[in-house]
Structure 1
C-alpha cells in the first residue's frame, strides 16, 4: 500500500516506518505536523523542526504541516491539506507510530474516514519492553528530548537510550507506575541514526530548559555525517 507516515522524528515513528517498509509498503512521504502550542494533545513537539533533515538522511520525501495545537481543532485542520496531498501523492493510507494511545489512534482513524484512506498503526499493542528491545537490537541511536514524569529529572535530557537507561525506567515503573516506552507522555525522543538512515546525525549544540517538574532538550545545531559501510 502507498502510505503517508506521520513522522515526529522520535523512536516510535521511526520504528513504525521501519516496520512498514519491512511489510512491503511503499512510502509516498513522511508528514510532520508542527503544532503552534507546545502542549498539543495529538502531536509531538520538541525538535520536530529537524524532522526534514532526518527524512533527507533516509532519502524520503517530506512535508511539514502546521496546526493550531488546540485539542480536536488541530485534527480537523489537517483534512483540507491531507485531501490535496492524497490526490497529489496518490496516497492510499496514513500510518502512525501509536502504541497504546486510543486518543491518537482514533483521531487518525477519523482523518482517514473523512478522506477515504486506510489507517495503519504497525506498533499498536506492542509490549512496552518488546518495543524498546527491538529499537535497541536494531541499533537505533535515540536521545531523550523531553521528560515529564516523577522520577525523570533534568539529568535524563540529552542522554542516549541504552540498556542501562531501560533498567532505570523499569525501576521507575515499579516505583511510580511510569510507562517505560514513554507512550503516556513521560518522555519524548529524537533519532539520530537507524538502519534506514543513509547518513547519520550528530548533535553539535543543544540547550536544556527546565520548568518545575518537566524539561526539554532543544537541539540548536546538527551535523550530517557519512556512515561507514562494510
Structure 2
C-alpha cells in the first residue's frame, strides 16, 4: 500500500504522525505500507528522509524511513506523450517542481495528457493536483488549464459529459420556470421530456423559445433542431 503526503516545508510533529499513519494502515489493511513524501525543495527533502526513531534509553522500538521524492531526484516532464505514458510520474513531477520556473510547461503537458485520457484517471489526477496545489500560483494555473472551454470541447470525456449534463439540467429548469411565469401549462409528459434531455444545445434552444411560444408543445415544433441527445 502506498501512502502519499505532499510536504511543502518542514513541519514539527511529522516525526510522530508519520509513524502513526504507517502503523494504522498496516494494522487496518494487513498489507505492507510504503510512505512516499513529495517535497518541493532540497532542504525539506533531506529532513523528510529521516529516519524517525521511536524509543528510549538507546533502544529503538520503531523506525520510520520515508521514501522521498523532490526536485533533485524527479525529472521535469514537459512532454505530453511522456506524461500520458506515466500519469502518476507526471503528477509527482508537477508537485515537486511546483516552484520551478518550468511549472507552467509541466502543467501544460499534464493537461494535454489528460485531454487524451478518459475514465476515472482524469478525475483522480485532476483532483489530486488541485488539492495539493491549492492556494499556490501553480494551483491557479492548473485550474485554468483544466477548464472545459480550453481543453475538453467535444472530446466526449467523462468529465465533459458530466459537466454538459449538469448544464442541460440547469437550462431545463429555466425552460420550465419561464413557462410557469408566463402561465403556460406543462403536462407531466412534456415536463419529463424537458428535464431528461441531456443535449445542452437543444435545451438552450428550448429556453430561447420559451419566452415566445403560446403552448408548451410549440417548444418542439422545429424537429430539425432536435438531436439524439433528447430522451
Q: TM-score range by the shorter chain?
A: 0.3 to 0.5
Structure number with higher helix proportion = 2
Task: Compare the two structures and name the one with the higher strand fraction.
Answer: 1
Task: Compare relative contact order (CA 8 Å, sep 6+) and give the higher one, 1 or 2.
Answer: 1
Give TM-score, length-normalised by structure 1: 0.33
Larger radius of gyration: 2
* TM-score, scaled to structure 2: 0.33
